[in-house]
Amino acid sequence: MSVKIGIALPVREFAILGAGDAGPLLTLASEVENLGFDSVWVGDSFVARHRLEPLTLLAAIAMVTNDITIGTASLTAVLRDPLASAHIMVTLDQISKGRLKLGIGTGAPLPVQSEYDAVTMTYRERRERVDEAVRGWKTVWRGDEETSLAGQYFNLGGLREQSAPVQPGGPDLWLASNGKPIAVERTGTLYDGWLPVRIDPDQYRQSLKQIRETALAADRDPDKITPAVYVNVNINDDAAVAETGLNDYTMRYNELPLPAMLPYQIYWGGSAPDMVKFLRPYIEAGTRHIVVRISSFTDYERHLHAIAETVVPAVHAMEVG
């Protein structure tokens, strides 16, 4: 088994820079595939940090790529109608010929006040709504005709009138979260993958062990749960310059300095060979799919090619069990 590595496209970054055409993003997605990456991802923010709608964009990306995995990292599923979302997901899975994976999130807890102002439901309710929708989707996609689809928040009986996905059981649904106990339990009992955005390698190892134990207790195969990680990187041979680049990025993207963002996401800056060293402890802790967001508004191609030329082959060559 080889470790996979993919790129989160700069969809929001393009919006900040004033780009009004999706074409360059499609060109970039094709380039990511041609450079040897395993996956290409798009982010989402329903009420804040405006960008192009991710599922529509993925449909177009599916048409300009051939083999690469496409996915959301992550989809704010709680703010979408679950019947409509499932309809789109199944269609997208068919269009992509089964290449779809979906990172599923709740839209929190990043410090975005406009989102908190617009979405007043508690984090607990967000979590419960997302999990209820995921259970309904998976129930129907695996062909279960008996289980009731009436829940606390939704009646998803209409799912049984929709078409079937290409992938048996539907596209993999990864929980985009962290290593906290509730996220660990949710991943082990319900989700097909785990995509933490803020965790160190030791915490990763401990949480993954708990996820596998929880899966076994729930009579699930822990080997079918993909352990992934989402990292923000800035590539420069001078680590100080890379850190300055990261700070510039968070100031423009999040309107916050880098230190204020460190409690929420993983950020790293340095040379491409040092990025391999940075990723190795996560791989040794069990990571099997790395999602990279290039955290720079300048020289994007330079960053992308440095990662493709040095990091991708090194990650693919790492021996894992």
Q: What is the pLDDT of residue 117?
A: 63
Q: Report the alpha-carbon distance of residue 4 to residue 292 in Å, rounded.
A: 11
Q: What is the pLDDT of residue 20?
A: 79
Of 105, 104, 99, nearest to 29 by C-alpha is 99
Q: Report the alpha-carbon distance of residue 258 to residue 311 in Å, rounded.
A: 24
Q: What is the pLDDT of residue 121?
A: 81
Do 231 and 290 touch, CB atoms closer than 8 A? yes
Q: Which residues of 15-25 are buried (b: 16+ CB within 10 A; e: fewer)?
A: eeeeeeeeeeb
Read off the tokens for 96. 């992509």
Residue span of the structural domain in which 68 resides: 4-317
pTM, entire model:
0.96
Sort strands 172-177 and 100-105 into parallel, antiparallel or unpaired.
Answer: parallel
3-class SS of residue 22: coil
Residue 277 belongs to a domain with what CATH number? Answer: 3.20.20.30
Q: What is the pLDDT of residue 180?
A: 85
Average confidence (pLDDT) per 10 residues, the chain, 321 residues: 94 91 96 98 79 95 98 92 97 98 80 62 90 98 96 97 97 91 96 97 97 98 98 98 98 94 96 98 98 97 98 95 73
- Report H helices in the chain: 11-16, 23-34, 54-64, 82-95, 113-118, 123-141, 181-190, 201-217, 239-253, 258-261, 272-284, 300-306, 312-317
Q: What is the pLDDT of residue 122?
A: 85
Cis peptide before 74 (omega within 30 of 0): yes
Q: What is the pLDDT of residue 111?
A: 54
Cα three-residue angle 202-247-288, rounded to 5 degrees: 35
Q: What is the pLDDT of residue 50?
A: 78
Sort strands 100-105 and 69-76 into parallel, antiparallel or unpaired.
Answer: parallel
CA–CA distance from 69 to each of 5, 36, 190 (Å)?
A: 10, 12, 21
Do 316 and 3 touch, CB atoms closer than 8 A? yes
Cα three-residue angle 67-70-73, rounded to 5 degrees: 155
Q: Report the alpha-carbon distance of residue 161 to residue 173 in Å, rounded.
A: 21
What one-character DSSP code corresponds to residue 302?
A: H
User: HEC string of 4-20?
Assistant: EEEEECCHHHHHHCCCC
Q: Report the alpha-carbon distance of residue 197 to residue 285 in Å, rounded.
A: 15
Q: What is the pLDDT of residue 109?
A: 57
Domain count, the chain: 1
